[in-house]
Structure 1
Amino acid sequence: MGRVQDVIEPVARLMAGGDVVVLSGAGLSTESGIPDYRGSTGAARRHSPMTYQMFVGDAQARRRYWARSHLGWRLIAGAAPNAGHRAVARLEHAGLVSAIITQNVDGLHTAAGSRDVVELHGRLDQVVCLGCGQRTSRLDLDGRLRAVNPGFAGRAAAINPDGDVELGAAEVAGFRTVDCLACGGLLKPDVVFFGETVPAQRVRRCFAMVERARLLLVLGSSLTVLSGRRFVLRAAQQGLPVVIVNQGPTRGDGYAGVRVDAPLGRVLPALADRLLGVGSRPTVSDAVVHAADS
């Protein structure tokens, strides 16, 4: 336990030289009202996330997904960046953070003002046709779905990180889906579902970012899936320092030179203030820092 300046000081020393690449996960967005899959907010999920194979192979599964997501994406679209997102943007604008790789599909890094963001798993506010590849706005699709479902009375309960919500079978049964206006193909949110592969070009770009960095800063990710953990492994192979700030253990802890267990919305603004020489720094009573070299 300790004051926030004690908690962040090992991180600040490593970040002071700049060229920091951020890898962010769902834990960064929980304070914006979007739950994660594996932390305390993720425990309420009552159904498994949609897989790519189920989405393309089962029309009823697609209907369930679109009915749930028709409500859920609006909640994500209405979410605002929190203090953690804004702190990352401040550090980027100051030249200390060179790039951001995010596993999140909520667009909140960009909304907070960050510029060099690679959205590893895509964006929920875009739609792609699996037939012709055309990308369109989710807002446009929302209008079409409203038009063909004028009596849809589903009410959003718990929202999930992939943008769907909990709905009963009766609420889903009458929901109608729509197809691509250009070719009649299947429409899918422009996000990487479970069981789907991240585009290779996007992965190569992220690897290149990590390899040019001085430091990899992991924020709010349990690193459970290889999709994000591979960048920690690459940093370790390259001999780059890794810092992890997350509430709870991660699968990358063994590679971290510094590990901070603390709320990101409180630690990141204090870290930005420390590095940018702004203001005083309050205390944090629920943060723990582990330094491998201390």
Structure 2
Amino acid sequence: MREAIELIKNAQSGVVFTGAGVSVESGIPPFTGAGGLWNKYDPKFIELDFFYQNPAKSWEEMKKIFFTCMGQARPNKAHEVIAQLEKTKKFQGVITQNIDGLHQAAGSKNVQEFHGTIHQMHCIQCARRYDTAQVDLTQNPPVCKCGGVLKPDFVFYGEGINPRVYSESETMAISADVMIIVGTAGQVMPACSLPLVAKQYGTRIIEVNLQPSAYTDGVSDFYFEQKATAFFAEVEKYL
């Protein structure tokens, strides 16, 4: 831990790469693994074709799973300390696979939301954009002023990653001298390739996960098998 802390303290262009595990302690269940959402629900409702053909059914599930649960969640210690790292100017910011917006709520400014966000929507008919807070979610499905159905701005199955976000994330990974991986098994493409890219460019990798991941052997320089909040509480002592 002392060696990892020194790396973090001396970073010049660090990056934090987060997955669902960083938000579990905020009450948001992961998608896979023990207690994962996809063990309980069929993710078909967020397949792009299914959404276009059955928007009301898709929205019925989305409101229950994403907007009720995630909308009530609050940042935890890990989110807060990650935001502090950016404020020190030693870290560029965060690349996250999460769609919950908790990094921004904790104060992070440079957040690349690789899989999008629940906090914005667009009309699939006229492309008008909305903040989710402005949308009447009691309607099923929620609709635009033009009458078109609204779609949340997170990436559905069958939908591509935003090219700008992909490019910015890759640039951050390549230029990072330290990357902290938190709460991800490293199995979702193409996001899982970013630590591999960073490693190829000489980035030192610190991994924090409750279980070994695809990165633990061969990619990570340090592996801490502990909760994200516990790790970042320790980091906070040295900021």
Relative to the length of structure 2, the TM-score reads 0.90
Q: Does 1:12 align with 2:1?
A: no
- Distance (whole Å) between structure 1 residues aligned to residue 127 and residue 186 of structure 2: 30
- Distance (whole Å) between structure 1 residues aligned to residue 234 and residue 35 of structure 2: 24
CA contact (8 A) 2:14 2:92 kept: yes
- Distance (whole Å) between structure 1 residues aligned to residue 57 and residue 163 of structure 2: 29
CA contact (8 A) 2:50 2:58 kept: no
Offset of residue 234 of structure 1:
0.8
Offset of residue 110 of structure 1:
0.6
Find the counterpart in structure 1 of residue 236 from structure 2: 272
* Residue from 167, 170, 179 that aligns with 1:216: 179
Q: Deviations over 1:16-39 (max 9, x none)?
A: 222210111100000000011223
Larger radius of gyration: 1
CA contact (8 A) 1:219 1:246 kept: yes
- Distance (whole Å) between structure 2 residues aligned to residue 44 and residue 136 of structure 1: 28
Report the aligned-residue RMSD: 1.8
Which runs of 5 or more structure 2 residues have no equivalent in the other structure?
none
> What is the DSSP-based 3-state SS (H/G/I as helix, E as strand, rest coil) of the residue aligned with 1:177?
coil
Runs of 4+ in 1 over 4 A off after TM superposition: none
Which runs of 5 or more structure 1 residues have no equivalent in the other structure?
1-7, 149-175, 277-294
CA contact (8 A) 2:15 2:180 kept: yes
Deviating more after overlay: 122-131 vs 68-77: 68-77
Relative to the length of structure 1, the TM-score reads 0.74
Find the counterpart in structure 1 of residue 205 from structure 2: 242
- Identify which of structures 1 and 2 has the higher relative contact order when contacts are C-alpha pairs closer than 8 Å and 6+ apart: 1
- Distance (whole Å) between structure 2 residues aligned to residue 94 and residue 40 of structure 1: 35
The percent of aligned pairs where both chains have the same amino acid is 29
CA contact (8 A) 1:229 1:252 kept: no
Q: Does 1:199 align with 2:162?
A: yes
Find the counterpart in structure 1 of residue 125 from structure 2: 131
- Distance (whole Å) between structure 2 residues aligned to residue 128 and residue 64 of structure 1: 18
- Distance (whole Å) between structure 1 residues aligned to residue 26 and residue 37 of structure 2: 17
Offset of residue 75 of structure 1:
2.7
